[in-house]
Amino acid sequence: MTELPKTFDPAAIEARWYAHWEDKGLFRPKRPGAEPWTIVNPPPNVTGSLHIGHALDNTLQDILTRHARLKGKDAMWVVGTDHAGIATQMVVERNLAKDGIARADLGRDAFIDKVWSWKAESGGQITRQLRRLGCSMDWSNERFTMDEGFSSAVLKVFVELYRQGLLYRDKRLVNWDAGLGTAISDLEVETREVQGKFWHLTYPLADGSGTISVATTRPETMLADMAIAVNPGDARYTALVGRQVRLPITGRLIPIVADEHADPELGSGAVKITPGHDFNDFEVGRRAGIEARDMLNMLDAKARICQTADGLVPADLIGLDRFDARTAVVAKLEAAGALERIEDRVIQTPYGDRSGVVIEPWLTDQWYVDAKTLAAPAIEAVQTGAIRLVPKSWEKTFFNWMENIQPWCVSRQLWWGHQIPAWFAEDGRIFVAETEAEAQAEAGEGVLLTRDPDVLDTWFSSALWPFATLGWPENHPSPSGEG
């Protein structure tokens, strides 16, 4: 008789029985006529691995699923993974870099082929971990957000939202990651405290009658300053509102405007306004009547100095990295007698959570979803009790999110992901359709079209996960109940 081991080792036993259960299809017993019961697992990133939060969440889902199955219901636990646009592209690019190959060397199609190859060889770690955890998921219906059927649903929703006026193209500030070369979301930005400086500058009034002082943590942005803001209640500056200032270095004439954004108690009470490179300044600029299309941009996609639309940036600064430009601009300000003093200060600085580089607010054309309009039915559903939040104490947080929601930037300057179904004509017209043939038919014969190279934010597709994994839109009603 074989001697029993002194300690229990579950690894071999669990792995053997799990494989048996999966092979026999026991995680989705076919029960015609039984009450359907479905739970959809939030898709983990294909590049990732499970953490303790996954372990807890999946354990709770597993308990619910097994309980429903024991009650005789046709229980299906939908499983799959998210294509994780930025994370996956970074992994593949790093692998290529080991062989001295850059994404641009391959071209878009060949690079995407490399991503698919990587997924086939290395993208299954997280699903193996789900099996090892014992999750009784329906692996026969495993999904991926880049599946053909799922991708069709993503394109359909994009086109429908566009035609309903809920998705549009706009020029606004985004969190620009110069390391990755793409816009990123607020959730992908982490704020760090760094030892920085506060530069106090003197700007002369255009008529030579005096000066006005401002301070900034990013002196290089003065190359694109478009206004000086003072508080309308600040008596020190009442007589200056409406007058002009001549900027050092560029010589640009800019107005002094009244705006509540300026805090009389902070510094001199006057604030330099660079609407193309600061989120608060963007709003001040719009309130002052500056259209987004007219806001000055002084950085390219790699955060190097570029010429502004008015051509006033000195030639010797063009092409400099933003931080090298900071040193050069400070030197020029000092030489011009416009640098009052430099103050050491701890600065709250935004960094990309993946690239680790400082994020720039950058003015660019992107695609946006009208999140405020879409949030209204969700707010009403919770207010009326049609949807209950458990625990109820989270309602306050929910309403805070929903009622203060901003337009959602859904475009990313990547190659891996769902390419945006929009085509541009040479005359500036945009045609949005599910296929190029449909876009061409709308544009007319002979109109040359170029497809938007951007892809959609991964979370745009993930939002469709509960519907597209279950067959929508093929022979199913839409999530809104129409069609």
pLDDT digit string, tens, across residues 52-72: 999 999 999 999 999 999 999
Q: Are 309 and 296 in contact (CB under 8 A)?
A: yes
For residue 131, pLDDT over 90 is answered with yes
E strand or H helix that includes residue 386 = none
202-212 residue pLDDT tens: 999 999 999 99
Percent pLDDT > 90 in the chain is 88
In the CATH hierarchy, which fold is given to the domain comprising 10-146?
Answer: Rossmann fold (3.40.50)
Residue 299 is given by DSSP the state B
Q: pLDDT class for 480, splitting at 50, 70, 90?
A: very low
For residue 96, pLDDT over 70 is answered with yes
E strand or H helix that includes residue 208 = none
Cα 216 from Cα 218, distance rounded (Å): 5
Q: pLDDT class for 481, splitting at 50, 70, 90?
A: very low
Q: pLDDT class for 287, splitting at 50, 70, 90?
A: very high
Task: For residue 236, count other CB atoms closer than 10 A to its CB.
Answer: 13
Question: If you average pLDDT over residues 36-60, what whole number do you get?
Answer: 92
Question: If you average pLDDT over residues 444-459, what whole number do you get?
Answer: 96
Residue 267 is given by DSSP the state T
Q: pLDDT class for 4, splitting at 50, 70, 90?
A: confident
Return the pLDDT at 1. 60
Question: Which phi-psi region, left, alpha or beta, contains residue 96 (left: φ > 0; alpha: ψ -120 to 50)?
Answer: alpha
Q: Are 160 and 460 in contact (CB under 8 A)?
A: no
Across the chain, mean pLDDT equals 94
For residue 478, pLDDT over 60 is answered with no
Cα 462 from Cα 43, distance rounded (Å): 8
Q: What does the CA dihedral 62, 63, 66, 71 come to, rounded to 10 degrees? A: -150
For residue 10, pLDDT over 50 is answered with yes
Where helices occur in 297-409 by DSSP H, the ranges are 322-335, 371-384, 395-403
140-165 residue pLDDT tens: 999 999 999 899 999 999 999 999 99
Q: Look up the CATH superfamily of 188-360.
A: Valyl/Leucyl/Isoleucyl-tRNA synthetase, editing domain (3.90.740.10)
292-316 residue pLDDT tens: 999 999 999 999 999 999 999 999 9
> Which numeric CATH code is attached to 153-186+361-468?
3.40.50.620
Return the pLDDT at 49. 86
Cα 129 from Cα 81, distance rounded (Å): 12
Task: For residue 151, count other CB atoms closer than 10 A to its CB.
Answer: 18
Per-domain residue ranges for the chain? 10-146, 153-186+361-468, 188-360
Same CATH topology for 10-146 and 153-186+361-468: the answer is yes
247-266 residue pLDDT tens: 999 999 999 999 999 999 98
